[in-house]
Amino acid sequence: MGLSMSQWDDLDEHDRAYALALDLVDAEDAAGRCTCCGGVAAECQNPDNQHAYVVTFRRCFRTLAVMEAEEKRRGKDGLGDMKGVLTVVRLDPALKKSATRPQSAK
């Protein structure tokens, strides 16, 4: 972006974030990456590919568990305190479906 150090120092937090974002966009452009999706621009911006993308969905159960725990903590009124709360997630093998379902006889 070409700012001097004193120009940089004069920027407020919002303008610095904006300037850094512009640098990121320039860097993505220079690398041939799409600034919208992060993919290869020559591919995702090629009109020939307009209807060629097949989208599938997968569910992240770790994210789901975090979202549900945060909703529960906030409560029905949504006012539960989340300030300063760190989210720590661990996978408990004893709670896996495969560990809690009765084993079928073979």
Query: Which residue from 92, 94, 72, 97 is spatially nearest to 82, judged by alpha carbons?
Result: 72
E strand or H helix that includes residue 21: helix 13-30
- Would you say the C-alpha torsion 40, 41, 42, 46 has a positive or negative sign? positive
Nearest approach, Cβ of residue 32 and Zn ion (Å): 11
40 scored as a contact of Zn ion (CB under 5 A) = no
Nearer to Zn ion by Cβ, of 51 and 106: the residue is 51
- Considering only 25, 36, 64, 82, the residue that binds Zn ion (CB under 5 A) is 36
Q: Are 89 and 65 in contact (CB under 8 A)?
A: yes
Q: Is 19 in the site for Zn ion (CB under 5 A)?
A: no
> In the bound complex, what is the minimum distance in angstroms from residue 39's beta carbon to Zn ion?
5
The window from 2-10, 44-52, 60-68, 85-93 that contacts Zn ion (CB under 5 A) reads 44-52
User: In which residue are the tokens 């006012």 written?
Assistant: 79
Taking CB under 5 A as the criterion, the residue among 1, 37, 67, 82 binding Zn ion is: 37
Q: Which residue type is seen at 11? A: L
